[in-house]
Amino acid sequence: MSTQHQINLPFTMGTSSDFNAQIPYHTHFHYEIYYFHGGKVNYLINDSIHVLEPGDLLLMHGITLHRAHVDPSEKYHRSTLHFDPFYFKQFIQPPFADDLLEPFKKLHNVRLQLRGPEKAEVEETLLKLEQLYVQRDAFSQQRFQARLLDFLILINHLCQKPLKAKPTFPSTKEHHVQAVISYLERHYNEEITLEGIQTELHLSKYYLAKTFKEVTGITIFQFLMQRRIYQAKIELIDGVQPITDVGYEVGFKHPSHFSRAFKQHTDLTPEQYRKQHQLHSTSL
């Protein structure tokens, strides 16, 4: 097919069958659909670890912190689809239909464990979406949007079924790391030490530090820093309080440290981030 009239889409989509460089703990404004075909992955979403199984479909809302920690000893195969929720609502969502973004907005982040015919249908849909996506002409774009609409209707139907309330873990290591993450979630804006975590969980700080890195691919304090930066992003977008106060609220003792760390992780100062993203957030 000719690509003379190739166009850019408000979506990004890809499938990977190889192990690539580990993607850091990150956020983005687009909604994400992640489907796990196979491999060995611990997926960290906000304050929960998910030990993925083939057929798992993850729905992630907005600027959710997430990261896949991939075991390079096994072949990694996944499909991802990112889309702009504002574009979807304006140009794809039928005005007469229910809000098809409800699972993302109401459930925020959800893991659907698909098996049998449902698994096969989702895999067939993702394959067709990818085939249309790579063609990048106007006709294929229209078909892609129609197929995406059907996919979101299917996802809404799947989300009507009972969901597992809590992640399950194949070993005590994941269970212990989840306990650390839950502790950090409760206390991220306070002073955190390995000794304090050790006292709280009654486990050796050396064991916890080693196991956390093994399970997630990052250290406890790298996670803590990302969690504080993530919360700062939310406060900068949603609130009008002084930037210095935002830094204190999320756990930084000194404004200079907050500004330096924030820019290191976002390439923007807190002032620049607030100005750039408050406008974007009002359109969602």
Q: What is the pLDDT of residue 230?
A: 93
Residue 171: phi and psi, rounded to 5, are -145, 165
Answer yes or no: do 75 and 133 share one domain.
yes
Q: What is the pLDDT of residue 2?
A: 31
Residue 99, domain CATH: 2.60.120.280
**How many domains, the chain?**
2
* 165 in any annotated domain: no
* 163 in any annotated domain: no
Answer yes or no: do 92 and 208 share one domain.
no
Positions of E strands within the chain = 11-16, 31-38, 41-45, 48-51, 56-60, 66-70, 77-83, 109-113
Answer yes or no: do 130 and 213 share one domain.
no
Answer yes or no: do 187 and 214 share one domain.
yes
Which DSSP string corresponds to 166-181?
Answer: S---SSHHHHHHHHHH
Q: What is the pLDDT of residue 167?
A: 66
Answer yes or no: do 142 and 204 share one domain.
no
Answer yes or no: do 115 and 183 share one domain.
no
Tokens standing for 181?
Answer: 């993450």
Please choose, from the candidates 21, 10, 27, 188, the residue with its C-alpha nearest in 3D space to the C-alpha of residue 84.
10
Q: What is the pLDDT of residue 235?
A: 93
Answer yes or no: do 42 and 154 share one domain.
yes
* 92 in any annotated domain: yes
Query: Whole-prediction pTM value?
Result: 0.86
* 3 in any annotated domain: no
Q: What is the pLDDT of residue 22?
A: 62
Q: How far, in Å, CA of 166 to CA of 262, rounded?
A: 32
Tens-digit pLDDT string for the chain (284 aa)? 333 333 456 889 988 765 554 677 788 889 999 999 999 999 999 889 999 999 999 999 877 889 999 999 999 999 999 999 999 999 999 998 899 999 998 877 899 999 999 999 999 999 999 999 999 899 999 999 999 999 999 999 999 887 665 667 778 999 999 999 999 999 999 999 999 999 999 999 999 999 999 999 999 999 999 999 999 999 998 878 999 999 999 999 999 999 999 999 999 999 999 998 776 555 44
Answer yes or no: do 47 and 134 share one domain.
yes
Residue where a domain terminates, one of 102, 136, 158: 158
* 164 in any annotated domain: no
Answer yes or no: do 40 and 143 share one domain.
yes
Question: How far is C-alpha 197 from the chain's CA centre?
Answer: 26
Domain that holds residue 204: 172-282
Answer yes or no: do 199 and 118 share one domain.
no
Answer yes or no: do 258 and 145 share one domain.
no
* 59 in any annotated domain: yes
Answer yes or no: do 276 and 198 share one domain.
yes
**In a 10 Å sphere around its CB, with 0-12 CB exposed, 13-18 middle and 19+ buried, how is residue 166 labelled?**
exposed
Residue where a domain terminates, one of 104, 128, 158: 158
Tokens standing for 283?
Answer: 């359109």
Residue 208, domain CATH: 1.10.10.60
* 166 in any annotated domain: no
* 74 in any annotated domain: yes
